[in-house]
């Protein structure tokens, strides 16, 4: 199922644009792993969101495909170390077209919300003003998703929400 809020399906179907995105991650078991410059980290099983941007060639689509691909990708960004693990599934994406660097604004909103907590300090944000880009969900799926899309809208973006089914990472239609 593809859900687009405040814009049409045609706009949401084009992901080859620069923008900001939030991966919705299901971690099926407690994990400990080495993550680049952060070193050894542990995260509990549960739902997480990772905030990223894609302003280079291929836009959001290329970046999200990279995150979905678990086959021998070069581990470059902090999130690569997590999304490459079998226990981590991307269950959805919230994204919006923009050329502005808005990751820190979304991260600051999540940090102040009662529905989110910092999962790992500095994760994905060592070059940014925010404390982290990886947040653990504390509320229900629907409440977190609604709050997240409202945050996009509050900073002038038109969010698109893409859900994946439980069996693979192809979009539900």
Give me the domain span that covers residue 125.
Answer: 2-163
171 found inside a domain: no
* Tally of domains in the chain: 1
The CA-based angle 25-53-1, given to 5 degrees, is 45
pLDDT in tens, the chain (173 residues): 344 443 443 456 678 899 999 999 999 999 999 998 888 999 999 999 999 999 888 899 988 888 887 776 788 888 888 999 999 999 999 999 999 989 999 999 999 999 999 998 877 766 667 778 899 999 999 999 999 999 999 999 999 999 876 534 333 33
- Asked if 163 and 148 touch (Cβ cutoff 8 Å), the reply is no
Q: Model-level pTM?
A: 0.86
The vertex-170 CA angle with 77 and 62, nearest 5°, equals: 35
Q: What is the b/e burial string over 6-26, where b = at least 16 CB atoms within 10 angstroms of the residue's CB?
A: eeeeeebeebebbbbbbbbbb
Q: Does 72 fall in a domain?
A: yes
Classify residue 152: in a domain, yes or no: yes
């Amino acid at each position: 199922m593809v859900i687009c809020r405040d814009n049409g399906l045609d706009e949401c179907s084009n992901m080859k644009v620069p923008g900001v995105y939030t991966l919705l991650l299901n971690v099926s078991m407690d994990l400990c792993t080495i993550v680049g410059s952060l070193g050894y980290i542990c995260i509990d099983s549960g739902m997480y969101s990772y905030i990223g941007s894609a302003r280079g060639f291929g836009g959001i689509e290329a970046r999200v495909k990279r995150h979905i691909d678990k086959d021998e990708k070069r581990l470059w960004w902090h999130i690569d170390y997590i999304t490459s693990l079998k226990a981590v599934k991307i269950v959805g994406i919230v994204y919006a077209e923009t050329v502005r660097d808005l990751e820190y604004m979304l991260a600051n909103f999540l940090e102040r919300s009662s529905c989110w907590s910092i999962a790992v300090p500095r994760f994905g944000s060592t070059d940014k003003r925010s404390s982290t880009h990886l947040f653990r969900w504390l509320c229900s799926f629907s409440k977190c998703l609604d709050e997240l899309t409202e945050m996009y809208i509050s900073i002038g973006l038109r969010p698109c929400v893409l859900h994946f089914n439980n069996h693979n990472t192809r979009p539900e239609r």
